[in-house]
Structure 1
Amino acid sequence: REGVIFPGKQHTTWSYDRLAKRWYMHRFYPHQPDLNINNPRVRDEIHKVIGFWLELGLSGFRVDAVPFLIEQVGRHNPATRDPHDYLRDLRSFMTRRRGDAMLLAEANEPAKKLAKFFGDRGNQMHMLFNFLLNQALHLSLVRGDATPAVKTLRSLPEVPAASQWANFVKNHDEATFDKLTDKEREEIFAAFAPRKSMRLYDRGIRRRFPSMVGGDRRRMELMYSLLFSLPGTPVLFYGEEIGMGDDQRAEDRIAVRLPMQWSADDCGGFTTADEKDAPRKPLREGPFGYPRVNVRAQREDPASFLSWTGRAIRTRKEWPEFGWGAWRLLATRSREALAHVVTWDGGSAMAVHNFADRPVRATIRLPADLRGGTSWRHLFGAPADDSEPPAGPADGRLVIELPPYGYHWF
């Protein structure tokens, strides 16, 4: 049972194949045997697969569970003395075939190990999913305290110039909180998964974020404002842009993998098949069912979450500081508030977020290079008429009033 990834569902990492008359290792389920990357034939076959899809026009690949891909079992594996050599080889082969292709990797590891997967010169994975920040943001929201998020941001290793963090709110698996302490994880479970059936593998929650917060628009906007403004590249899971929920009647991870809700038509417009014949049932009932939450209705509503998401994306693209800039955390004199500034090509942008369910005053002390008569104007968040901070005085202090779960970009 050592090394089992799916406790309660998976019983061993070794199985016997009667046809081959051999034991084989599988970090995941028995139908997912680990590949022996020390074998040159295996490497060549992986290269063929990558080359095939690049020829069809793919722009890159999501590399699942990278630490297990390069994991070495036993002491004698002469072909790979440094397991990371294989990631360098993978990157090199792909780049030769297509220079603008990228590798987005899943490496849910402690902060001190993450830099290895980018590579010293950025010659391994282009991007890593930021599991540590994802877990910290959920904990900060539960506590109404920005401290966990601040500590995690400060703990992240620097990334090479051509690399980037991939920030996310939700992915296609359970929301995992394995890097938190047992006490911290229980806090999140109590708030976002009060029923045991909502939890999975003793470490995660099989729910989408909108249903975790009961459709609370304030907390939804706060979390996705953080996604679009914090250092890194935002990654959306389908349906997040309209605030889709989950189906707790479905098994395990399938609860969050619903058919996309395009319209209020049968099956949510996902298929013309009869709903009873659909291999994966759409969610019809409840506040997140497709009659109430769907793309068609939200495209026609300027106040919808889809419209809000579109504005957030456009604002981020209009101000490239958020994507390209060097970032710094700013003191706010409030545990509830998180503020950071990004600077790129002579311009600066700032975002301030309130994790609390009450109004908060953030008193921000700007870095010396941003003090002295600098004017900050509203970009995104609360209405502009009550969110303009004053021009920075000589001591560089800005006072910003934040409503409950409020956020401002300047």
Structure 2
Amino acid sequence: MWWKEAVIYQIYPRSFQDSNGDGIGDLEGIRRRLPYLKSLGVDALWLSPFYKSPMKDFGYDVADYCDVDPIFGTLEDFDRLLQEAHALGLRVLIDLVPNHTSSEHPWFLESRASRESPKRDWYVWADPAPDGGPPNNWQSFFGGPAWTLDERTGQYYLHQFLPEQPDLNWRNPEVREAIYEVMRFWLRRGVDGFRVDVLWLLAEDLLLRDEPGNPDWRPGMWDRGRHLHLFTEDQPETYAYVREMRFVLDEFSAPGRERVMVGEIYLPYPQLVRYYQAGCHLPFNFHLIFRGLTDWRPENIARIVEEYERLLTRLDWPNWVLGNHDQPRLASRLGEAQARVAATLLFTLRGTPTWYYGDELALPNGEIPPEKVQDPAALRQKDRKGEHGLPPGRDPERTPMPWDDSPHAGFSTAEPWLPLNPDWPRRNVAAMERDPRSMLHLVRRLIALRKDPGLLYGAYRTYWAQEGVYAYLRGEGWLVALNFTDKEKALPLPRGGQVALSTHLDREERVGDLLRLRPDEGVVVRLD
């Protein structure tokens, strides 16, 4: 199946390439950059939302699931992008946002018109608590209660994100069928699948029970972390909904043309892997981000990989992620030297890797002055510090792609919607193309190397995870050794072999029974 051998490349459309001079990236801009993606060696692109939207959450508040927002172009632009991507052998996945709509979506406007509306039950409505307040203690991901009072009808509606993003009621079969028709609309146009937004949140407790307190929560931490989310996350009904979505995908699948579901799911491994059995091809595995990059030690990374591999059945296919549009940049978390080591890890583990645009340049988090903050999460929680003391907003990892050293980095002819990375005159695609040892060339080499059958399908086995070095075997013919430190290390090998690739891009040599690793070096060895 194509998605097992694929490298998926995530594009945040606002920030990839502007084609019309308004400072915001668009579909035509992405189309013009398809040759770059082909040259990088990726197999599929995933597009974050481009649907018609008031842009309260930059497209994750959908007002029309079956049209393109004018900011990004037209349906014809999308069709042209899809056609040219397919002509280059690139698959296209698009974001599906089934948990909630915009408060300006016609469905919600009709739902809130009156309690007798035929679409009233398309959203989650509830009477106030006895004191007139919200029905329960559920908290929004973006801060504050997950309920907003509609004064005209006297009931509260649920929104796990912004008040402008009311939650759909997935218990209603009409809602589910409406979303499945949205899927069919895009599948008929030829998309190769969906990345499904917040898949694990589709159902919530029917009785709307209060969630218990979190004993580990402390003042200053995330508001939503006050509670354990027993009644708003990973409810049993969700698996049936996922299975129905899979049936829709299977309607359009054929050998070599399988349509794939990638699910956004932030859960511990024992819960995450259940989504395979429900029908999700690739339940996103974010554990390298949340348990790995926050504790970057060989022993910890080995535990993360081994636990995942142990829980997978022979029918499940692993996947790995190092960054996305909601998390601080890889290079800012680890530094550029260890970002190279992490990239080697991602592309040599068993399973499908997803790569975030710009990480092949080791882009750092952007520097966003207070007056240029765009992210609604940051604007609502501006007094809170996030992980590692970073602000909770997502603007820093969404800055425009720097293509060259021309004005506005070749991204646009106008000032971009977010500031460019501060070092864009030297950290851009054109400059890195000219440097044979750049991160860009490393990623390209890693993607090409990953096509070897032993690295695609060979079994995983931990070989070494101590003293600052993590090494593992892939099948019978490959060993990957990663130095997590800034000191030289020596690793005994099971047998000799040939260095196929170093993160320093300066050695391809025979090695015997001892491999010497330089500081911050990752090495892939083809064993004899």
Q: TM-score, normalised by structure 1?
A: 0.75
Give yes or no for the alignment of 1:304 onto 2:438.
yes
CA distance 1:384–1:242, change in 2 (3 Å): closer
Matching residue within 335, 355, 358 for 2:484:
355
Matching residue within 248, 266, 288 for 2:367:
248
Q: Deviations over 1:178-231 (max 9, x none)?
A: xxxxxxxxxxxxxxxxxxxxxxxxxxxxx32223445x3x22211111111122
Give yes or no for the alignment of 1:221 onto 2:340.
yes
Q: Secondary structure at the match of 2:270?
A: helix
Aligned amino acid, residue 516 of structure 2: E
CA distance 1:360–1:18, change in 2 (3 Å): same
Aligned amino acid, residue 349 of structure 2: L
Alignment match, 1:166: 319
Instruction: For 1:379 and 1:126, locate their aligned partners in 2 and report how far apart those are by CA, in whole Å.
Output: 31
Contact 2:270 2:311 (C-alpha < 8 Å) held by counterparts: no
Give yes or no for the alignment of 1:115 onto 2:273.
yes
Contact 1:14 1:24 (C-alpha < 8 Å) held by counterparts: yes
Off by >4 Å, runs of 4+ in structure 1: 382-387
- How far is 1:126 from its partner? 0.6
Matching residue within 198, 222, 244 for 1:65:
198
Aligned amino acid, residue 147 of structure 1: E
Alignment match, 2:331: 210
Alignment of 1:55-134 (within 5 A): 55-74=188-207, 82-99=237-254, 100-119=258-277, 123-134=278-289
Contact 2:500 2:508 (C-alpha < 8 Å) held by counterparts: no
- How far is 1:328 from its partner? 1.1
Alignment match, 1:32: 165
User: Quick one: higher RCO (CA 8 Å, sep 6+), 1 or 2?
Assistant: 2
Q: Secondary structure at the match of 1:83?
A: helix
Alignment match, 1:337: 469
CA distance 1:311–1:358, change in 2 (3 Å): same
Matching residue within 270, 294, 312 for 2:411:
270
Alignment match, 1:405: 520
Aligned amino acid, residue 164 of structure 1: W
Aligned amino acid, residue 234 of structure 1: P
Q: Secondary structure at the match of 2:477?
A: strand
Instruction: For 1:341 and 1:160, locate their aligned partners in 2 and report how far apart those are by CA, in whole Å.
Output: 20
Matching residue within 501, 504, 508 for 1:380:
501
Q: Secondary structure at the match of 1:378?
A: strand
- How far is 1:5 from its partner? 4.7
Give yes or no for the alignment of 1:281 onto 2:418.
yes
- How far is 1:164 from its partner? 2.7
CA distance 1:75–1:139, change in 2 (3 Å): closer
Matching residue within 139, 148, 153 for 1:4:
139
Instruction: For 2:183 and 2:447, locate their aligned partners in 1 and report how far apart those are by CA, in whole Å.
Output: 30
Instruction: For 1:242 and 1:321, locate their aligned partners in 2 and report how far apart those are by CA, in whole Å.
Output: 27
Q: Secondary structure at the match of 1:377?
A: strand
CA distance 1:329–1:213, change in 2 (3 Å): closer
Two-structure CA RMSD over aligned residues (Å)? 2.6
Q: Secondary structure at the match of 2:273?
A: helix
Q: Secondary structure at the match of 1:313?
A: helix
Q: Deviations over 1:304-333 (max 9, x none)?
A: 22122111111112x12222222111135x
Identity of aligned residues (%): 27
Q: Deviations over 1:268-301 (max 9, x none)?
A: 21122x32xx4x13316x3x3x212111222233
Alignment match, 1:316: 450
Aligned amino acid, residue 143 of structure 2: Q
Aligned amino acid, residue 309 of structure 1: V
> How many residues get paired?
339
Q: Secondary structure at the match of 2:300?
A: helix
Instruction: For 1:282 and 1:2, locate their aligned partners in 2 and report how far apart those are by CA, in whole Å.
Output: 38
Unaligned runs of 5+ in 1: 175-206, 367-373, 391-397
Contact 1:130 1:168 (C-alpha < 8 Å) held by counterparts: yes
Contact 1:105 1:125 (C-alpha < 8 Å) held by counterparts: yes
Q: TM-score, normalised by structure 2?
A: 0.59
Instruction: For 1:259 and 1:359, locate their aligned partners in 2 and report how far apart those are by CA, in whole Å.
Output: 36
Matching residue within 208, 222, 237 for 2:356:
237
